[in-house]
Structure 1
Amino acid sequence: MAGLSPAGGFVDGPLIHVTSLLENYIEVRLEEDSEYAGSFIAGPSLYGSVPEKIINGIGEDMKRTDKAALQRYYDNLTIIPQKRLLHAAALLYYLVYGKRLDITQIRLANGSVETPFRISDQIDIEVSDRLNNDSLHHDRVYEMRLMELIKEGRDVEVARELSIGFATEGVGTLSKRSHLRHLKNLAIAGISIATRAAMDGGVHPEIAYTMSDLYIQQIEEMHKPKEVDKAMKQALIEFASRVKEGIEDHVSGSGAVSTCKRYIFNHLYGELSLETLSGLVHMNSSYLSRLFKKETGMSLTDYIQSKRVDEAKKLLALTSLSLSDIYSRLHFNDQSYFIKVFKKWAGMTPRQYRNDIKK
């Protein structure tokens, strides 16, 4: 015996349903005389704990004001990882039908019914319509060139290409109900591709992903098409600028010095020592110190301090973190030492810098 699929045919196995609220339900459908006769339902459960930010977002979508009640609801749901849930589905199916299934069979059964309609049935029709109306997607070569410019850090050329070549026509329809939603989806897609191009160009993944998150969050709050278009173009230019900054800083000097610079950048929030760096490039510590000073004009200690101060400036300007939080994150020994080093490279104290930047 088997369960009934949404299309009316029977599928061999239990079904796993995931709601828009992230809840999971197991369904075992019953058949009587080849007709659907009801279902056994088990649930809800979660694959894992849901972060507070996600719960708040769900509350916003539902227009709920009682966020605390929603939080309590999620806190009280049982957490069952995906593999265990598949085994539970197999057990429930066995209790109903006395038939053993392995989880691979259950995955296959669910794969056949998860999509409520077949996209593939519409592809050929849609393509034919576009060809007939001369309404083709934008040139793939243009997209590749734009991403290559971002990867190479050529921000000026990215800005030029965006000003003369990029248009929203020819990119398909990403939302049938809302032109604004269409533009937001387009911007998110473009930023996602640019994020990977920037990482290919050497931008630290944490920086690239954070930039992507912040731009997408900003775009989601916008209500005018022109604002969305402008934000997307700014994002692509900034990705290229970040690549350019990294190239200008990291590629100067020998391979060993460049490797040290990259490692320092990637570990500003961790422990950094001459011993670690010399081991990284397989050089004597004294020789590496002399080589670094010769090629950069700065000692390794000074270089690390300057980069940590640059990072502290960003935290002072863009966050409300306290001085103690900032200096401890960046591995300064204490607040007085942090202030001394900061003043050496910035010409003012951290507090003065924060006050000036926010005027």
Structure 2
Amino acid sequence: MKKNEVLFWVQTVSISLDVSVSYISEKSKFIKIYSENPFYSLLFSKDHDDILNRYLNLVQEKIIYYANTPIKTCYLNICLNKESEEYLVIGPYLNESINESQINELQSNLDIDETILIELKKYYSTMPIVRMDRLWALCNLFLEKYFDIRGPFSVVGIKEEQIMSNKYKLDESLDKNVSIKMIEERYQMENELMDAVSKGDFPSAFMAHEKIMSNLGSYHSFNDSINSGIKGITILNVILRKAAEAGGVHPLYLNDLSSKYSMLSLSKNMDNKISVKMIKDYCSLVKYHSLEGANPLIKRAVSYINLNLDSDLTVTNIANHLCITPNYLSRLFRKENGISVIVYINQKRIDESIRLMKKTDMQIQTIAEKVGINDLSYFSKLFKRQVGKSPTQYRRDLGK
């Protein structure tokens, strides 16, 4: 996984959950993140830097480490590469809002004076509240791609006394409100959704979505996050984008659809069925633009065609771009797709012209030129052969 992909994930999660996410390539920078916390001295009872150095010596790759600090702020730490000292740090954040009685309890347990207590209350008011299960699921999706292995990945809670004794173990009570079993079931259902989307199978994807909602409908945090709201739409957009990418869709198409829903998530009048619409659109993207399983040369040929529909596309210039002979390209393309290169080009051009008719008010002549056909008569002939009606009739039926 490339560094820019890691940074894209970091930025996406940071924006969608409104939580600090940092990619670090040095131990000293890891320690700096904690040391910059205004209540650093309250997080550890002993030498701060020594504890963090011991902690970094203990952590292993492919494990999600969870820390719930004495002041109830939380962090997730992930070691991506121990040798090159690459880590992800997510936090600080809260699992739940802090009430007055909890603050009074903290004051008593930590012997906090009134001045610090006032500042601590202000600090809590700025903290994002992020549920463990949502963060855990997003981290699992990321780690699967980063390490190219199937999850789920273990969640390990390390306490200060475990660090000092150089021992750690799985903390079975990471979040008293959400059991590990529920998290695993949720993650499995999300995988079913992603698998269906990666195959362009909308009926199965829809059923997987309904299964999630019926099983976890009473679990308000998930229901709210995946079905509505800016954060929820952003998170679902990322999940579906990754699923479509796994299905072999070119980044150009992914970016167009992802950008569309990123902008839509900012709208104040979002349709409450937007999640189903998103799933359907991403399934369609995979169905019509997936290159999964294709010969590498054919993948490159198809990508070149799809990105240059408005150009003078011939078998010869495509073959030259791929550094192969036109005859070899023609034979291989027909073997892989069952149709000739030219037939495929014409189909894609008509598909694109239909999209432009639906989305714009451009004149038919202009649309024909946009898809690389300057002869309007020839364009109309191709259009009618593929669609069954002329471009003019098709547009009339659209009500435009």
Q: TM-score, normalised by structure 1?
A: 0.53
User: What residue is the counterpart of 2:212 in the other structure?
Assistant: 165
What is residue 104 of structure 1 aligned with on the other side?
none
1:276 and 2:322 correspond: no
- Whether contact under 8 Å (1:204, 1:266) holds in the other structure is no
Deviation at 1:159, TM superposition (A): 1.1
C-alpha distance 295-236 of structure 1, shift in aligned 2 (>3 A)? closer
TM-score by length of structure 2 reads 0.49
Conserved in 2, the CA contact under 8 Å of 1:147 and 1:197?
yes
Matched, 1:144 2:188: no
Partner secondary structure for residue 132 of structure 1: coil
**Separation (CA, whole Å) in 1 of partners of 2:209 and 2:334:** 41
Cα 1:252–1:355 shift into 2, 3 Å? farther
Q: Give the alignment partner of residue 131 of structure 1, picking from 175, 178, 181.
A: 175
Q: Specify the alignment match of 1:211 in structure 2.
A: 257
The structure 2 residue matched to 1:194, chosen from 234, 237, 240, is 240
Residues 189 and 208, structure 2, Cα contact 8 Å, conserved in 1: no
In structure 2, what is the Cα distance between the partners aligned to 1:317 and 1:172? 37
Give 1:243 deviation, angstroms. Answer: 1.2
Q: Any stretches of 5+ residues in structure 1 without a counterpart? A: 1-107
Counterpart AA for 1:153: G
Output one character per residue of 1:8-66: Cα deviation in whole Å (capped at 9) or x when no partner: xxxxxxxxxxxxxxxxxxxxxxxxxxxxxxxxxxxxxxxxxxxxxxxxxxxxxxxxxxx
Cα distance change, pair 174–307 in 1 and its aligned pair in 2 (3 A): closer
The answer to whether the 8 A contact 2:196-2:202 is kept is yes
Is this contact kept in 1: 2:310–2:373, CA < 8 A?
A: no
- Describe the shift of the 1:297–1:328 C-alpha distance in structure 2 as closer, same or farther (beyond 3 A): same
Secondary structure at the aligned position of 2:324 is classed as coil
User: CA 1:150 to 1:251, structure 2 compared with 1: closer, same or farther past 3 Å?
Assistant: closer
- What root-mean-square deviation, in Å, do the aligned CA atoms of Structure 1 and Structure 2 show? 4.3
Letter in 2 for 1:131: D
**Residue 151 of structure 1 contacts residue 200 of structure 1 at CA under 8 Å; is this kept in 2?**
yes
Tell me the distance in 2 between the aligned counterparts of 1:345 and 1:180. 38
Match of 1:264 in 2: 305
The aligned counterpart of 2:86 is none
Equivalent-residue separation in structure 1 for 2:217 and 2:366 (angstroms): 44
C-alpha separation in 2, matches of 1:246 and 1:181: 26
Equivalent residues of 1:342, 1:349 under 8 A apart: yes
More displaced stretch, 273-282 vs 302-311 = 273-282
Measure, in 1, the Cα distance between the counterparts of 2:179 and 2:232: 17
Q: Distance in 2 between matches of 1:131 and 1:267?
A: 52
What count of residue pairs does the alignment treat as equivalent?
243
CA contact (8 A) 1:317 1:358 kept: no
The one-letter code sitting in structure 2 at the alignment partner of 1:120 is P
Residue 173 of structure 1 contacts residue 182 of structure 1 at CA under 8 Å; is this kept in 2?
no
Contact persistence 1:203–1:243 (CA under 8 A): yes
Larger radius of gyration: 1
Pick the aligned partner of 1:340 from 381, 386, 392: 381
What runs of 5+ residues in structure 2 fail to find an aligned partner?
A: 1-31, 39-72, 74-90, 99-130, 133-171
